[in-house]
A = this chain, B = another copy of it.
């Protein structure tokens, strides 16, 4: 019987119909099983599921469902194999250096998708991108975002050579409002929630998001979404 997620599992899962349909639409080949609660058998979501997924993979089990679901009204849990991908070298990337919060990580995936960024590099140590909480926070955007992890920023850069924009709390850097958005591929680089980016990341492209001195700093997910919006094209 399937166990509650742990970091060492070779599988993870979605909770709820909406992200499970994202899994089905984007990564069907990674599905191991889909568990549904018996009270969902009359639901529209369940009927739709049976049309999209091999019925042998759908298991009605209130016990498994109750164990893996987040709050008890998700009705469905989609168990899938963890998988690895490479980033698209020709598109803009978001690089998160040591992000520590799974909720932020998922939110950032959702914001990326909203502004058509599909490539995310994560420098470890980092919050577990496969944790069901991250997937849930992404509202299913998880399956649309290519994700690749690196043990250092140098390792990332040696694989993907391109100009990068480190976001830092350095009001001598260029203000985001004045940045000229490049026409070639680029990377937007953000530090950890508590510590930000180390000085060594600073370069001629360093960006500062103009903000009031009344707040200590923007929340990471907020800073990222403002940057994504500014760097996105109409």
Residues facing B in A214-229 (CB within 8 A) are 214-215, 218-219, 222, 225-226, 229
Q: How many copies of this chain does one complex carry? A: 2
Check A114 against B144 for contact (C-beta < 8 Å).
Answer: no
Q: Does A141 contact B (CB under 8 A)?
A: yes
Check B111 against A212 for contact (C-beta < 8 Å).
Answer: no
Can you identify 6 A-B contacts, CB atoms within 8 angstroms? A113-B214, A114-B214, A114-B222, A222-B222, A225-B225, A226-B229
Q: Does A183 contact B (CB under 8 A)?
A: no
Residues facing B in A158-188 (CB within 8 A) are 175, 177
Give me the interface of A with B, judged by CB distance under 8 Å: 107, 110-111, 113-116, 139, 141, 144, 175, 177, 209-212, 214-215, 218-219, 222, 225-226, 229, 232, 234
**Shortest Cβ distance from A50 into chain B, in angstroms?**
24
| Complex Cα spacing A115 to B139, Å | 27
| Complex Cα spacing A114 to B116, Å | 26
Give the interface centre of A144, A218, A229 by most chain B CB atoms within 10 Å.
Answer: A229
| Complex Cα spacing A232 to B229, Å | 15
A116 touches which of B110, B111, B212 (Cβ 8 Å): B212
Contacts of A219 in B (CB 8 A): 107, 110
> Closest B-chain residue to A218, C-beta based?
B114
Which are the 6 A-B pairs with shortest beta-carbon distances?
A114-B215, A116-B212, A114-B211, A226-B229, A113-B215, A113-B214
Contacts of A107 in B (CB 8 A): 219
> Closest B-chain residue to A226, C-beta based?
B229
| Complex Cα spacing A107 to B107, Å | 14
| Complex Cα spacing A13 to B212, Å | 26
Check B111 against A214 for contact (C-beta < 8 Å).
Answer: no
